[in-house]
Structure 1
C-alpha cells in the first residue's frame, strides 16, 4: 500500500485482507507468567524461576488448606446430623431440621471458603507481581 493521496475521482485502494485465527490444538498456550526478561535477551532468569516456583508452592498450599478445611467442616456437619437423631425428627416450616442445617449451613460454608480462597490467591499473585516488578 502506498501513502500517496488519492487522485480526485479515483477510489483509494482497498486495504489488504488479514485473516485472524486461533491457535491450533497442538500449539501450547502462552504461560501466565513469563520467566523471560527483555534485559537478558529473552532467557529465563534464575530469580524469576525461583519466584514462580514459590508462587506455585504457595498457591498449592493455599488450595490444600482450603480443601482440607472444607472437608473437615463438611464431615463435622455430617457427624452432627448422624450423632443427634433428634435433628431428623424435628420439623421446621414443614422441612426437616437436618435439611435446613445442610442447606443453610453447608452452602454458605462452601461460598465462604471459595471467596476466601479467591481473595488469598489474588493476594499471593499480587505479591509475586510486586516481587517481579522490583527485580
Structure 2
C-alpha cells in the first residue's frame, strides 16, 4: 500500500494560525481610546450607532403614521363606521381622541427598550 503522503504530493505544510494583529502595517483598534480621541475609527463607530438609532426611530414613526393615518381614511371610506357610537360617544372620537394615547405610550416604551439595547450593544463593542 502506498504512503498517504506520497500520493498527495509530498508532506503537508505546517499549519499557521493567522491573527489580524500579525499583519504587516496593521494597527490595533482601541475602541475606547478611538472614541475619546475622536479619531476616524471613533467617528465611524458613533455614526453607526446614530444610524441604528435613526433607523429605529424612523421605523416606529412610520408605524405610528400608518396606524393613525388609516383611521381617518377608514372613516372616509366607510361612512357608517364614523357614525357608529360606543357608550353614547362616536367611535371616531373614541379612537382618535382616546385610543391613540395607549398606542403612543406603547411605541414610546418599545423605542426606549430598543434604543437602550442598541446602546448596550455599542458599549459592549467598545469595551471588547
Q: Note closer, same or farther for the CA distance 1:100–1:86 as it changes in structure 2 (3 Å cut).
A: same
Gaps of 5+ in 2: 1-30
Q: Indicate yes or no: 2:71 matched with 1:77.
A: yes
Task: Tell me which residue corresponds to 1:16.
Answer: none
Task: Tell me which residue corresponds to 1:90.
Answer: 84
Offset, 1:118: 1.0
- 8 Å Cα contact 2:81-2:91 kept in structure 1: yes
Offset, 1:36: 6.8
Q: What SS is found at the alignment partner of 1:44?
A: coil
Task: Tell me which residue corresponds to 2:27.
Answer: none
- 8 Å Cα contact 1:36-1:45 kept in structure 2: no
Query: Aligned residue pairs: how many?
Result: 97
Give the TM-score normalised by the residue count of structure 1. 0.62
- 8 Å Cα contact 2:32-2:127 kept in structure 1: no
Task: Tell me which residue corresponds to 1:59.
Answer: 53
- 8 Å Cα contact 1:81-1:88 kept in structure 2: yes
Gaps of 5+ in 1: 1-34
| CA–CA separation in structure 2 for the residues paired with 1:85 and 1:116 | 33
Offset, 1:122: 0.6
Task: Tell me which residue corresponds to 2:120.
Answer: 126
- 8 Å Cα contact 1:87-1:96 kept in structure 2: no
Which has more helix, going by share of residues?
2
Give the TM-score normalised by the residue count of structure 2. 0.65
| Bigger relative CO (Cα 8 Å, ≥ 6 apart) | 2
| CA–CA separation in structure 1 for the residues paired with 2:71 and 2:82 | 13
